[in-house]
Every structure is written in structure tokens, then in C-alpha cells.
Amino acid sequence: MKVFDNTTKRIFLASWVSINQAETSDDKVTQLNRSISKPYWDILQPLRQRLENIQVRDRQLAHRLCKLIPSQCPFERDVKLFGKTLFHIPPMCKLNPLYEEVVGLRFRALCYLADECGEDVSQYC
């Protein structure tokens, strides 16, 4: 049996196009432009930049970062009673506003240990 015998021969692409431009009101367009151009100030931006600017150039710092920052969310759990799963607590790390920066810092530390120092990082995975 060949895979291409069971695949779709034709692919249809569809999109929504507004033909009648009179339906869109100028008020809605100007409101949209105002909301987009509104200045947005992020209170955590200085902390994000500080985390992004940390350069891992020390073996001890890299080891410390890999030990402190967990590879998986420590809050994710399956609550079991007598071997039966009652409910699942989902990972809450994505709710952390600095999640991406912290995970990136851990990744840079792992890369430094593996690439520059030639160490085995499987203990941190």
C-alpha cells in the first residue's frame, strides 16, 4: 500500500474577502487605528532586558542556573487517591510573565556547558 494512494488529490484554499467597501465605517477604522497606536508601557520590560543581557561565561554560574531553573513546571501534578487519578493540575509556568526569559537563560546555560565546556548536560534534562 502506498501513501499517496490514500491522500487528497486536490487542495482547496479559501479566504474571506470584503467586496463591498461601503460596509466598513470610517469610525470603526479610526477607532482601530487609535487603539493600535496607543503607547504601551510594560512595567517588566527592564527586568526582561536584564535577564536577556545575562551572558553565561562562567562554568559555576551555568551549573547554578541549571540547578535553580527547573526543566519542567514544578506545579504540574496528578492528584491520585488509591491509584486512581482524581484530577490534574495543569502547568502554571506559562502564567509567569518572565517565563520566556527565564527558560531562555537556562537554555543559554545548558548550551554553554555543552558547547564551550564539553560537559554532559543530561543530568539537567
Run means of pLDDT, 10 residues per run, the chain, 125 residues: 54 55 52 58 89 92 93 84 88 84 94 92 88
Q: Is the pTM of this model over 0.75?
A: no
CB-CB contact of 109 with 121 (8 Å): no
Nearest to 62 by CA among 1, 121, 122: 121
DSSP symbol at 115: I
For residue 72 the three cell numbers come to: 519542567
Torsions phi, psi for 10 (to 5 deg):
-125, 140
CB-CB contact of 64 with 53 (8 Å): no
Listed in sequence order, the residues at least 6 apart from 36 whose beta carbon sits closer than 8 Å to its beta carbon are none
Nearest to 111 by CA among 97, 98, 124: 124
What pLDDT, on a 0 to 100 scale, did the predictor assign at position 62?
94
For residue 99 the three cell numbers come to: 517565563
Q: How far is CA 50 from the centre of its chain?
A: 18
